[in-house]
C-alpha cells in the first residue's frame, strides 16, 4: 500500500457506494393529509422509492415521512461534518477518490495482518 491511500471499501465514492448515494438524491413528493391518511398502508413502499414525502395540511407542509435508510445517511453525514477530525478524514478520502488513489482489498488485508 502506498502512503496515504485508502481502501475503496470504505470510501463513499466507490462504485458499490455510488448507487446507494445516487438513490439518496431521489426527488421528494408532496401529498395532502387526507391522502396520506387514506394511503397509510402504501406509504412505506412509496417512501422507500421517494425517500421523503412531505405531507401537507391546507396546502402547507405539516410534516415529512422519511425512509429510515435515508434518515440514517443524513444522521451519519451530520455526525461526520460536525466532528472536525472526521470531516478532515472524509475530505482527504474524497481527494483520494478524485485522484484515483485506491488500494486493492487483498493488499490492505495483507498490510493489516
Quick check: is 58 in a domain? yes
| Domain annotation covers residue 99 | yes
Q: What does the pLDDT profile of the chain (113 residues) look like in tens digits? A: 344 444 443 434 444 444 544 444 556 788 899 998 898 888 888 998 899 999 999 999 999 999 999 999 999 999 888 999 989 998 999 999 999 998 889 988 998 98
The count of other CB atoms within 10 Å of the CB of residue 31 is 17
The total domain count for the chain is 1
The pLDDT of residue 26 is: 55
pTM for the model: 0.54
Query: Does 15 map to a domain?
Result: yes
For 57, which DSSP code? E
78 part of a folded domain: yes
Say if 53 falls within a structural domain.
yes
Is residue 88 situated within a structural domain? yes
Calculate the alpha carbon distances from 59 to 22, 27, 46, 54, 56 in Å: 29, 19, 20, 11, 6
In a domain, 73, yes or no: yes
Tell me, what's the pLDDT at 51? 92
Question: By residue range, what is the domain housing residue 46?
Answer: 6-112
In a domain, 1, yes or no: no
Amino acid at each position: 500500500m502506498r502512503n496515504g491511500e485508502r481502501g475503496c471499501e470504505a470510501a463513499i465514492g466507490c462504485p458499490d457506494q455510488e448507487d446507494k448515494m445516487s438513490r439518496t438524491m431521489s426527488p421528494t413528493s408532496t401529498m395532502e393529509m387526507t391522502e396520506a391518511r387514506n394511503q397509510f398502508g402504501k406509504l412505506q413502499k412509496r417512501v422507500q422509492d421517494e425517500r421523503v414525502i412531505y405531507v401537507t395540511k391546507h396546502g402547507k407542509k405539516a410534516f415529512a415521512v422519511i425512509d429510515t435508510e435515508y434518515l440514517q445517511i443524513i444522521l451519519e453525514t451530520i455526525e461526520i461534518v460536525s466532528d472536525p477530525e472526521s470531516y478532515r478524514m472524509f475530505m482527504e478520502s474524497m481527494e483520494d477518490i478524485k485522484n484515483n488513489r485506491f488500494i486493492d482489498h487483498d493488499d490492505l488485508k495483507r498490510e493489516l495482518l
